[in-house]
Structures are given as C-alpha cells and as structure tokens.
Amino acid sequence: MTSLPALSLVFAAVAAPQSVADLERHFADFLDAHGAQETIDSGLLEQVDGRDRKTWHRIREDEVAAVAAGLAHLEARRLVPEDARLVRAMRTTFDELAGSGSMAPSRKCADGASTKLGVDALEEALYACFDEVGNHIRFEGREVTRSGALQMLQEIGEPKRRQALFLAMEPLWRAVDGDGNAASPYRRLISQVAADPRGAETSTAGVASVLGVEAAVLERWLVDVLEAWRKVNPAGKSLVEPWDFRHRYARASHAVNGAIPRESLEALNARFARDLGADSRALGIRYDLAPRPGKAPIAYADAMRIGRLEKGAWRPAIARVSANYDRGGLYTINELVHETGHAVHIAAVRTRPAYFWPDTLFMEAFADVPSWSVFDPAWQQKYLGRAAPRADALREQFALVMLDVAWGLFEVRMLRDPNANPNAVWTHITQTYLGIAPHPEWSWWAVRAQLVGNPGYMLNYAAGAILTADLRARTREAIGPFDAGNPRWYGWLSENLLKYGSSIEAPELLRQFLGRPVSPEALIAEIESLR
C-alpha cells in the first residue's frame, strides 16, 4: 500500500457534517480506518499505511463520532430522493460496522452460560466458542480444527472412526446449545434475534428482497431445491448416518485430494485467479491462511481499505483473506477460491463510498461463481492433472450446497418460531430432504459459526446458491466456459456486475445482468442433471 487516505478533518473537534458530501467523506475515512484496524487485529500486519493500531483506533473513533453525528443531522432533514438513498446506504453499513464489527473473538465462550447477556454479547460469546472449543477438537490423541474435522468426515474410510470424529464435536454442540432445553444459549439467542431482527441481511424478508421476491417465495424456492436433490438421491431402504453423509458424497475428493496438498493451496488459487484475468498479486490481495490461536475461527475476506477517488484518480481497494487451513483437499480449495471471489469483487468496485459495500447475499453468491469451478472436470484436469467423473464431482458439490440450503431453511423456521426445538427442526429437514437418520438427541447442526455469530446469515448462502447458478449460467452464455480459466472473465464481470457496489438496487442490477428476474431454475436444472 502506498497512498494515504485523506485525513485532513480527523483531528479537528467533532462537528456534525452538514451535507451529504461532507458526511460521505467522513464515512469513507471511517471505512478505511475500520479496515486498517481490523487488518492489524487479525494479526496479518502490525501497521497499515505506516500507522499503528493506536493511531488507526483514534482515527476510527473520531470518524465514528463524526459519521454518527452527520447521520443524525441528515436523517432529521427532508432530503431529495438520491440523497436520502445515500444516507440510508451509509446508515446500513455504519450500523453493521461501528460497534465492534470485529471478526476476531472478543469474548469468552463461557460467558454464553450467563442468562443476563443481551443479543450482541451473547453472539460474541457463542462465536468465541468456535475458536476456543471448535478449533480444538480432540480426535485420536490430537487436535483438529472444525473445518479440518468437517473435511475429515469426507475423507476417513472407516465408519467407526467417522462416528468417533463426529461425536468429538459434541463439546461444540454443547457450548452452543447446552442441554438443548429452552434455556440453551442458542435458544436464548434466537428468541432475542427473532424479537428484534438484526437487519435486512439476516432476516428472511431482507434476504428475499435482494432477489426481488417475498419471504414466502424464497422459502418455497429453498424447499424446491431440496426436493430436487431428494428426487435424484432417494433415501431408498436406509437412511444415512450424519457422520456418513459427507463421506458418501465425497467421491470426487477421494479421487483428487492426493493432488491438493496443503502447500499447494495458495499457488493453485493464484493460478486459477490469474487465468480468470484476476491476478491476485496485481490486485494486491493479501492471504493469511495458517491456523493461529485467537484468530477468527471462520474463513473470510475483507477490505483493508476501500476503493475511492483521491484527487481525481481512482485508488483501488485492497482486500485480504483470512482462514485456518491445516490441510489441503477439494473442500479447502473450494473455500479458498470462494474467499478469493470476495476479494476480487471488493477490488472491482468503482463507485462512491456510500455504495462501496454490495449486498451480502449478492457477495456470497458471486464468491461461489469461481469456487464452484473446482468441481468441474475441466478445472481438475488442468490444475491437478487428474479429474473425478463429472457426476461424482457434481454430487459432492451439491451435497455441500444442500447442507447450506438446509441450514438456511433451518434459520427461516427458527426465526419464524423461536420457541421451536432446534434439534427437531434440523432433524425434520435433514431426514426429509437429505435422507439423514434422525438424531434429535444431538445438536449436530451447531457446527457453523454464522448460526451464532450472525443468526440469519446462513440464509445468504442458501439463497446465494440459487443466485450463483443463475450468475454462472449467464456468464457462460456471454463469454463462454470459464471453469478452466477464461481471460475475459474478470473484465467482463467487473464491467457488467461488480463495479456497481450497491449503487444500483440489487434486484434491478440482477435483472439487468440476467436479462430477467432471478429464478431457481438454473440450480434445479443442474441438480436434476444428476438423474
């Protein structure tokens, strides 16, 4: 990073910005300071742009005060529609980030036992469980991370060992859901969230609105997608045990994981991105992939600084990716390419600061546009020198997608009826659509940090899968296949989809891009191709 953000107003006393333009300058400085502080807190760097944490923290505090004052001032005024929309956009992002907003755990897992915690504190405590407990799963005399364990459930050949590993996750289930009774930490959390939704990106109606549909339509789409899967994978005589599900559908991993060692992940990822015209080195993307205690327990991408105009020239955003990889494999490269999808999206945005951050659902859906490619035989042949049969690869890909859709539907139902027993809700969904044997005695759904760190967020993955299939189909139609690279990919997508941030409302942007409204047909057709 070379240039410094504009800081001229930072050390002045806080006076409420009077105009939208004035507010937006402070808002941009806030986003830059937030990105810098988060980068330092993530453990990636000690300084950003020559400033240490203390300095960035002070800048951030000042900008939080200025933006809060400016928003309050302008929200009380009658504004022309475009200004009102700008203020609304800044308000949404600001509310999300101004608190802690941090990805690194800021509380202790044990705090979750306290019945006195409000929503935010309870979310933070339960999220910390995914670091303290979830990333220290004891199995066969050693410790594995949660994402490592989920991948090992695909790989381990012996059912007894898979069962043992599955049950080794019980401490995490307990940390999240206690004894599963009404006083469980998760049930206390979800009832508070349902009573006071966290925001548009985590409510069923909010997520549905990004696709331009009503909540009930989105829920039906999720069920339709799961139904399509059920039809091509009928349960037959026997249900599959939950510790066997990932293994049953992991034949592609079994075929190619030997060609994806841990050490190869970054180079594979970089090569594919380059072949898509999105050279991650040229875009300045930073990767921090080794496990480390206290690090965010999930993989994520974020902006170290936003893209913005400076003295008439565009200063691009810089993105970073954080993860905890202790093993390679198809599962991991899929996730890493997903995070890279976020990073190149962030780098492609060319819009004013108020609209810098796109809708969450749209971001999650786009990140899977490149990541689904790793299941394609053409990708595997080119980058690994061997390929699993297409049907095996698609089954594995969609088995993982179906779990996300199942979690999304789980959240829709828990948010609608927070007094429901989550184990019963999860058992019903997984037995009906995925053919998984019922185990209502276990809270085995509790292995995704988003469920507690940001309740409602899994819906973005579930609905995102519908959009991903649509975006991939449209992109293929426009520029040809891209699963094994296509130099037009990044330029064409940047120009037609990514550069806008949230400056165009998502349903309109998607309609413009697709030439029609979003529909689940593309995803359902792909699933049905497995017949």
- Contact residues toward Zn ion (CB under 5 A) are 364, 367
Q: Which two tokens stand for residue 124?
A: 């933070």
Smaller CB distance to Zn ion: residue 364 or 526?
A: 364
Shortest distance (Å) from residue 460 CB to Zn ion:
8
The phi and psi torsions of 436 (rounded to 5 degrees) equal -95, 135
**What helix, strand, coil percent values describe the chain, rounded to 5?**
60, 5, 35
10 Å Cβ neighbour count for 234?
A: 8
Smaller CB distance to Zn ion: residue 219 or 364?
A: 364
Rounded to the nearest 10 degrees, the angle between the axes of helix 360-371 and helix 330-348 is: 130
Rounded to the nearest 10 degrees, the angle between the axes of helix 521-528 and helix 215-232 is: 10
10 Å Cβ neighbour count for 409?
A: 24
Smaller CB distance to Zn ion: residue 122 or 367?
A: 367
Shortest distance (Å) from residue 373 CB to Zn ion:
16
Q: Which residues contact 109 (CB under 8 A, 6 or more apart)?
A: 125, 126, 128, 129, 131, 132, 133, 175
Smaller CB distance to Zn ion: residue 304 or 367?
A: 367
CA distances from 353 to 86, 94, 102, 238, 465 (A): 9, 12, 20, 54, 28
The phi and psi torsions of 369 (rounded to 5 degrees) equal -60, -50
Smaller CB distance to Zn ion: residue 63 or 411?
A: 411
Shortest distance (Å) from residue 302 CB to Zn ion:
11
Smaller CB distance to Zn ion: residue 169 or 367?
A: 367
Shortest distance (Å) from residue 300 CB to Zn ion:
7
Smaller CB distance to Zn ion: residue 55 or 371?
A: 371
Smaller CB distance to Zn ion: residue 362 or 442?
A: 362
Shortest distance (Å) from residue 353 CB to Zn ion:
22
Smaller CB distance to Zn ion: residue 225 or 367?
A: 367
The phi and psi torsions of 243 (rounded to 5 degrees) equal -80, -10
The phi and psi torsions of 84 (rounded to 5 degrees) equal -60, -40
Shortest distance (Å) from residue 405 CB to Zn ion:
15
Shortest distance (Å) from residue 342 CB to Zn ion:
5
The phi and psi torsions of 139 (rounded to 5 degrees) equal -145, 125
Shortest distance (Å) from residue 344 CB to Zn ion:
13
DSSP one-letter string for 348-386: H--S-GGG-SPPHHHHHHHHHHHHGGGGSHHHHHHHHS-
Helix (H, G, I), strand (E, B) or coil at 89: helix
Shortest distance (Å) from residue 338 CB to Zn ion:
6
